[in-house]
Amino acid sequence: MTSTGKPRSSCSPGPQLPIDFDALEFLAHGTSGAVYAIDKDWVLKESWELDRGIVERQALGRLGSHAKIIGYFGEATSNSIILERGIPLLSPDQIGLASTQKKLAWIRDVAEGLLYIHQQGIIHADVGCENIVIVDGQLKMIDFEGCSMDGKEATAGYKWYNSKDDSVTLQSDIFAYGCVVYQILTGKPTFHELTESDDRRELVRRRCAEHRFPDIQGLLLSDVILHCWSGSFKSMAEVISALDSTSTRRLSPPRLTSILWKWIGTCPRPK
Ligand SMILES: Nc1ncnc2c1ncn2[C@@H]1O[C@H](COP(=O)(O)OP(=O)(O)OP(=O)(O)O)[C@@H](O)[C@H]1O
Ligand SMILES: [Mg+2]
């Protein structure tokens, strides 16, 4: 079986067409379908059912080409699409071996991707490290199947550790973004200690309702994470300015100078 899909985004030069379906290499599967490598740069995502995947195509078509969104090359068949290939963020060693500087850049990538998604009238509805891939060192969002477009109901939902309840709103995407930041910085999902509990979703819901979030004192970006979790950010634009002001605060010379002065003040004076 072969396909002669037409390019729909500015991803270039594009996969070898027509696709040799017999040569596809299975990579992974999710709840809606399976993902196969076409070659080193492109994958084919095939939906289990014919009517699955429609929303994802619509969303990717609307999102077009953006640095923090997976490149979309259009349909291969009625139930499969061609996407730029990345390395899943949760592949072994990706988070574990990344430097802090790299992690901070990744955190910014996801924020920019999510801001853009929201600006296009889309709520992702399954924000999480499972739905992020690395392409040329940058993070890009994948998996738009089940997202909410223009206020329509989402059919996707967050993983239990990325959501505080069953809602799908801008705020729930921002909550999940806070969980992504936590997982990138610590290497573990939020509420990981509840993994073995049968009622972990309910336990998380209760903890969040009582604002009993994981202890992140001393963690980089702890203020930003906490504001994502507590619902005080109204938009990803607010999140990005908080990220910016945190990094500015960390690096700004006046703050450094004042710390130095305080430290000098505590030094014993020479006799
Ligand atoms: N563009 C890509 N490059 C590399 N791997 C990918 C790509 N897209 C998807 N994958 C892999 O396939 C998995 C399943 O893809 P995706 O999340 O899009 O499918 P899904 O069926 O909608 O998933 P879910 O189980 O989250 O509903 C991803 O978690 C990832 O490991
Ligand atoms: Mg997924």
Ligand 1 atom closest to the CA of 143, numbered from 1:
18
What per-residue confidence (pLDDT) applies to 4?
43
> Is ligand 1 within 6 A of the CB of residue 124?
no
Q: Letter for the amino acid at 15?
A: P
What mean pLDDT comes out for the span 63-79? 96
Query: Is 31 close to ligand 1, i.e. is its CB under 6 Å away?
Result: yes
CA of 140 to the centre of ligand 1 (A): 12
| Least confident window among 21-25, 70-74, 98-102, 255-259 | 255-259
| pLDDT, tens digit (0-9, with 9 covering 90-100), for 26-50 | 999 988 899 999 999 999 999 988 7
126 CB near ligand 1 (under 6 Å): yes
* Minimal-distance CA residue to ligand 1 atom 26: 30
Model pTM score: 0.89
Sequence-separated (6 or more) residues with CB below 8 Å from residue 87: 94, 133, 134, 135
Q: Which pLDDT does position 233 carry in this prediction?
A: 98
Closest ligand relative to 31 C-alpha? 1
Question: Ligand 1 atom 16: the closest Cα is on which residue?
Answer: 143
At 183, list the tokens.
């997982």
Would you give the end-to-end CA distance of the chain in angstroms?
88
* 120 vs 246 pLDDT, higher one: 120
| pLDDT computed for residue 13 by the predictor | 72
Who contacts 243 (Cβ-Cβ below 8 Å, separation ≥6)? 107, 108, 111, 221, 224
Q: In what order do the strands lie in the sheet with 33-37?
A: 25-29, 33-37, 42-47, 80-84, 72-77
Q: What is the mean pLDDT of residues 50-57?
A: 89
Nearest to 44 by CA among 25, 57, 62, 59: 25
User: In this model, does residue 118 exceed pLDDT 80?
Assistant: yes
Question: Does the CB atom of residue 83 touch ligand 1 within 6 A?
Answer: yes
Task: Count, in order, helices (H) and strands (E) of the chain.
Answer: 7, 10
Residue 128 near ligand 1, beta carbon < 6 Å: no
- Cis-peptide into 13, omega within 30 deg: yes
Closest to 43 in 3D by CA, of 27, 57, 54: 27
Instruction: State both tokens at 197.
Output: 């509990």
Residue to probe by mutation, ligand 1, list 38, 83, 139, 143, most atoms within 8 Å of CB: 143
Does the beta carbon of 88 sit less than 6 angstroms from any atom of ligand 1?
Answer: yes
Instruction: Report whether 117 contacts 168 (CB < 8 A).
Output: no
Give the percent of the chain with pLDDT over 90.
Answer: 81
Q: With a cut of 60, say whether residue 127 has pLDDT above it.
A: yes
Looking at the CA of residue 33, tell me the nearest atom of ligand 1. 21
The percentage of the chain sitting over the pLDDT mark of 70, rounded to a whole number, equals 87
Distance 220 CA to ligand 1 centre (A): 29
Q: What number is the average pLDDT over the span 202-208?
A: 98
- Residue 69 CB–ligand 1 contact under 6 Å: no
Sorted by sequence, the CB contacts under 8 Å of residue 41 that are 6+ apart come out as 15, 84, 85
Residue 136 CB: number of other CB atoms within 10 A?
8
